[in-house]
């Protein structure tokens, strides 16, 4: 159904307040969720329904536990991954502005950072080249395996352009995002074949069986290798705390921001990225292709239409679940 | 056929001498080629046959054209990409050792850097986290297009372990490496379906038609988005020189080396990466899978067997072509 943007925001903020978030944290989380929701990315308000993402009752303020001119490691204090990651990217930008490189990791959160293009995009809007990596629990199997080991381990890369929107590329290294499966479950849909196995290692299109089994990595062994590296960056490097058996008890994240002026004139870099976009879009199209789309373009176009209309199409079941949660008394 | 390692090295060095390389450059190039050849990677000695990789007659010494504590931009002087990239990684390591981050780009080369895991692996053996990106000419089409725009745009990521071998992940963002097509052409084989199109945009398994058409990116739009970012890093960022129409006249490369001690204890990082390898290999295997392999493991195992035997299996046609080139009088 079509939902007014203001209604969507108010409803989501109500659920976030019920979930225990103070208003500044709720606003950050809303920004991240809407970044995804309004671009047709499956990391949106689906995160608020069902168990949702309640604030941990013992959340502590975010703390810098290690710092150099170029880097910092943040203890997320059991708070929301989105709040810690937003702080991480702001700090990485600050360091990159002062010293050309900012590398900030977070640990001790256990909720998703959402669409990580959001964070990389903020750094690119500040004129920086940005990488973002997010870890999570055991959901995805290594290539050749059916035992969950990796998180969905998304990565984002963003570069600035001369226009308002940077080029932001954001992908899960899994064949499907975990919230893509939860979204299918909520909407009563099957998931595509070949993206998940059930608990005995058999391929499945049933989202419930997939959640009890393992998600596969995308693109065969290449995707698995990328997932491995994201795992190393978001757990080993940022000092998450595993059990003695190596199971995860918290999740980590990493942001790398680099000033392009280290290698070239920053404005020239933006102009050349923009020229590459123009060139890519002008190349000869395969039969049946209407338009060549650069990374993030489809989502930006959808966002522009939503903002112009002031309302957005949301799955009926999803909207019903969110509204019910907002209207429940606490 | 089986070829003695010493014979292989001597033959390749002879071809490199005939190709105009002084002995130090020839040794660097041989190292890169054997890194690939002895690991079963298609970036090996196939590069020396046919037109091969003759040294540009006007090769100038490599020159640092821009430098900060954390970064440098190298002008490759029209020399071999492998020689410039080896210099780039050595300089990136030096900067990362002194200042925790080293970011080095190269431009003004027009030959392939080969298996870029080689360069990332050297930095990881020095205890660093490494990224490497290599650009090249117009070979690969954007998702939805059949007009060559990108290079095969490989990227490598490497992390150190407690053992002798770092974990090195090295992949083309194209569905097949260009030298994989040339290797198939030399061996008289077809290429897999869905990796390339001919000059009119029709899928083809004929390597000759593919070389006249365009290679596709791997993994659908995700691979295309990665290819786009590698293109931005290896051309826009490192100041290669395009024609007014945007066509490439030289190729660029980028290495990023990061000291893990910025975020955690360096030895702990190595131990935790090694623990991740052990855990990944111990996960439950899908039916028909003998062993879970981590990135680079298959190539390292092949290398160990080759070194133990002192000889390596090489395609008959490839070896005949290389030997003929070594024996030709110049």
CATH code, domain carrying B27:
1.10.1530.10
A245 and A313 within one domain: no
Residue A77 has pLDDT above 90, yes or no: yes
Distances (CA, A) of A96 to A231, A238, A330: 24, 19, 43
Nearest to A302 by CA among A40, A42, A34: A40
User: Within an 8 Å CB–CB cutoff, is residue A244 touching chain B?
Assistant: no
Decide if A244 is inside a domain.
yes
B248 and B126 within one domain: yes
Q: How many CB atoms are closer than 10 A to CB B266?
A: 15
Q: How far is A245 from chain B (nearest CA, A)?
A: 9
Decide if B208 is inside a domain.
no
A238 and A167 within one domain: yes
B237 and B150 within one domain: yes
Tell me the whole-structure pTM to 2 decimals.
0.96
Q: Enumerate the residues of chain A whose CB falls inside 8 A of the CB of residue B139.
A: none
A64 and A44 within one domain: no
Residue A330 has pLDDT above 70, yes or no: no
Where does the pLDDT of residue A187 fall: very low under 50, low under 70, confident under 90, or very high at 90 and above? confident
Q: Structural domain tally of chain B? A: 2
pLDDT of A262:
98
Final residue before a domain boundary, out of A209, A231, A260: A260
B27 and B103 within one domain: no
Measured distance CA(A101)–CA(A235) in Å, rounded: 21
The mean pLDDT of A235-262, rounded to a whole number, is 96
A238 and A124 within one domain: yes
- Domain residue limits at A120: 60-174+217-260
User: Within an 8 Å CB–CB cutoff, is residue A197 touching chain B?
Assistant: yes
What is the torsion angle, in degrees rounded to the nearest 10, for the CA atoms of residue B308, residue B311, residue B313 and residue B314? Answer: 140
B143 and B2 within one domain: no
Nearest to B201 by CA among B183, B215, B189: B215
Where does the pLDDT of residue A182 fall: very low under 50, low under 70, confident under 90, or very high at 90 and above? confident
B38 and B66 within one domain: no
Tell if the CB–CB gap between B232 and A167 is shorter than 8 Å: yes
pLDDT of A91:
98
A99 and A152 within one domain: yes
A19 and A124 within one domain: no
Tell if the CB–CB gap between A292 and B143 is shorter than 8 Å: yes
User: Within an 8 Å CB–CB cutoff, is residue A147 touching chain B?
Assistant: yes
A65 and A87 within one domain: yes
Decide if B141 is inside a domain.
yes
The mean pLDDT of A34-38, rounded to a whole number, is 97
Final residue before a domain boundary, out of A209, A244, A260: A260
Decide if A207 is inside a domain.
no
Decide if B322 is inside a domain.
yes
Measured distance CA(A121)–CA(A128) in Å, rounded: 9
Q: What is the ipTM of this complex?
A: 0.96
Measured distance CA(A216)–CA(A211) in Å, rounded: 12
Q: Which residues of chain B fall below pLDDT 50?
A: none
User: How many degrees, rounded to 5, is the angle at CA A46 between CA A41 and CA A50?
Assistant: 160
Where residue A102 sits, what CATH number does that domain have?
3.30.1370.60
Decide if B232 is inside a domain.
yes
Tell if the CB–CB gap between A280 and B142 is shorter than 8 Å: yes
User: Within an 8 Å CB–CB cutoff, is residue B222 touching chain A?
Assistant: yes
Render pLDDT for A99-134 as a digit per residue (tens, 0 to 9): 999 999 999 998 999 999 999 999 999 999 999 999
Helix, strand, coil % (nearest 5) of chain A? 40, 20, 40
Tokens 């360069």 — which residue? B119
User: Within an 8 Å CB–CB cutoff, is residue B266 touching chain A?
Assistant: no
Render pLDDT for A13-23 as a digit per residue (tens, 0 to 9): 999 999 999 99
Decide if B202 is inside a domain.
no
pLDDT of A329:
61
Decide if B12 is inside a domain.
yes
Q: A9-26: string of b/e by CB count within 10 Å (b at 16+)? A: eebbbbbbebbbbeeebb
Render pLDDT for B33-57 as a digit per residue (tens, 0 to 9): 999 999 998 889 999 998 899 999 9
Interface test with B, best of A100, A236, A248, A272 (most B CBs within 10 A): A236
Residue A103, classed as helix, strand or coil, is strand
Residue B49, classed as helix, strand or coil, is coil
Render pLDDT for B162-184 as a digit per residue (tens, 0 to 9): 999 999 999 999 999 888 898 89
**What does pLDDT average to over chain A?**
95
Nearest CA in chain A to B70: A262
Alpha helix positions (H), chain A: 5-18, 23-37, 81-99, 117-125, 178-187, 207-212, 220-231, 266-281, 297-309, 316-327
Q: How far is A324 from chain B (nearest CA, A)?
A: 36
User: Within an 8 Å CB–CB cutoff, is residue A228 touching chain B?
Assistant: yes
Q: How far is A185 from chain B (nearest CA, A)?
A: 24
């Amino acid at each position: 159904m079509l939902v007014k943007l203001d209604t969507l925001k108010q409803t989501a903020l109500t659920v976030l307040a019920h979930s225990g978030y103070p208003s500044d944290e709720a606003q950050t989380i809303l920004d991240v969720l809407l970044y995804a929701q309004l671009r047709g990315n499956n990391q949106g308000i689906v995160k608020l329904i069902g168990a949702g993402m309640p604030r941990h009752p013992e959340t502590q303020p975010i703390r810098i536990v290690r710092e150099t001119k170029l880097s910092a490691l943040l203890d997320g204090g059991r708070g929301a991954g989105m709040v810690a990651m937003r702080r991480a990217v702001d700090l990485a930008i600050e360091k990159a502005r002062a010293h050309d490189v900012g590398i900030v990791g977070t640990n001790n959160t256990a909720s998703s950072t959402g669409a990580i293009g959001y964070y990389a995009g903020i750094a690119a809007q500040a004129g920086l080249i940005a990488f973002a990596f997010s870890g999570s629990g055991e959901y995805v199997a290594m290539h050749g395996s059916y035992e969950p080991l990796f998180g969905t381990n998304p990565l984002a890369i963003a570069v600035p352009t001369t226009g308002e929107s940077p080029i932001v590329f954001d992908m899960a290294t899994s064949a499907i995002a975990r919230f893509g499966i939860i979204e299918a479950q909520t909407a009563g849909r099957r998931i595509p074949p070949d993206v998940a196995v059930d608990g005995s290692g058999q391929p499945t299109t049933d989202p419930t069986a997939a959640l009890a089994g393992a998600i596969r990595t995308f693109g065969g062994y290449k995707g698995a290798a990328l997932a491995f590296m994201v795992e190393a960056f978001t757990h080993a490097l940022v000092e998450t705390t595993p059990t003695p058996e190596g199971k995860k008890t918290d999740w980590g994240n990493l942001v790398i921001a680099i000033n392009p002026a280290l290698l070239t004139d920053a404005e020239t870099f933006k102009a050349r990225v923009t020229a590459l976009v123009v060139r890519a879009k002008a190349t000869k199209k395969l039969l049946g292709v209407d338009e060549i789309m650069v990374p993030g373009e489809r989502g930006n176009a959808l966002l522009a239409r939503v903002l112009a209309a002031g309302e957005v199409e949301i799955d009926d079941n999803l909207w019903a679940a969110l509204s019910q949660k907002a209207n429940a008394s606490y």
